[in-house]
Amino acid sequence: MKSIVIYESTHHGNTKKLVDAISKKYNVETAGIEHAESVDLSGYDMVGLAAGIAFGKFYRRMEEFAIKIPSGSQVFLLYTCGNPSNRYVKNITRTLESNGARIMGHYGCRGYDTYGPFKLVGGIAKGHPTEEEIMGAVAFYDKIIGRE
């Protein structure tokens, strides 16, 4: 199965840690969101979208990129944030499904967060993602490709 993960990991590299672990184990291709426009997604069996969360949604550029995912694509979602919630995938899932993409699943975990008011208190979720959370992302990928 040929997969690629398009990622946006801007503040502390939290999300990239998940992407790198999956890529290392499975030799999955990766591309930063700034290079995503030049990637021909039709050559992949599965596309991962990975980002941090801001204002209860995937980062804006990732939400906008989701509109361009080809109909029929299998897509999985990864995210990190200060306080994970399944509701963070609702908006991007709705966008992807309305374009005919098939959502294979999502994985989210805590990530060190110093955005906005959290900066005033030194951030939240220090030390995250942990090694266990990173391996949780790998186990999630194992499951969606049927190697669990």
Give, in order, the Cα–Cα distances in Å from 123 to each of 39, 79, 86, 109.
34, 18, 22, 16
8 A C-beta contact, residue 52 and residue 111: yes
3-144 topology per CATH? Rossmann fold (3.40.50)
CA-to-CA distance for 30 and 16, rounded, in angstroms? Answer: 10
Rounded to the nearest 10°, the torsion over CA 124, 94, 18, 131 is 50
Q: What are the pLDDT digits (tens) for 42-92?
A: 999 999 999 998 888 999 999 999 999 999 999 999 999 877 778 999 999
- Per-residue confidence (pLDDT) for residue 116, from 0 to 100: 60
Residue 115 vs residue 38, higher pLDDT: 38
- Per-residue confidence (pLDDT) for residue 144, from 0 to 100: 95
- Claim: this prediction has a pTM higher than 0.85: yes
- Per-residue confidence (pLDDT) for residue 99, from 0 to 100: 94
* Residue from 42, 117, 113 nearest 83 by CA: 113
Q: What are the pLDDT digits (tens) for 85-136?
A: 789 999 999 999 999 999 999 999 977 665 665 555 555 456 668 999 999 9
- Per-residue confidence (pLDDT) for residue 119, from 0 to 100: 56
Residue 36 has pLDDT above 90, yes or no: yes
Q: What are the domain boundaries of the chain?
A: 3-144
- Per-residue confidence (pLDDT) for residue 123, from 0 to 100: 56
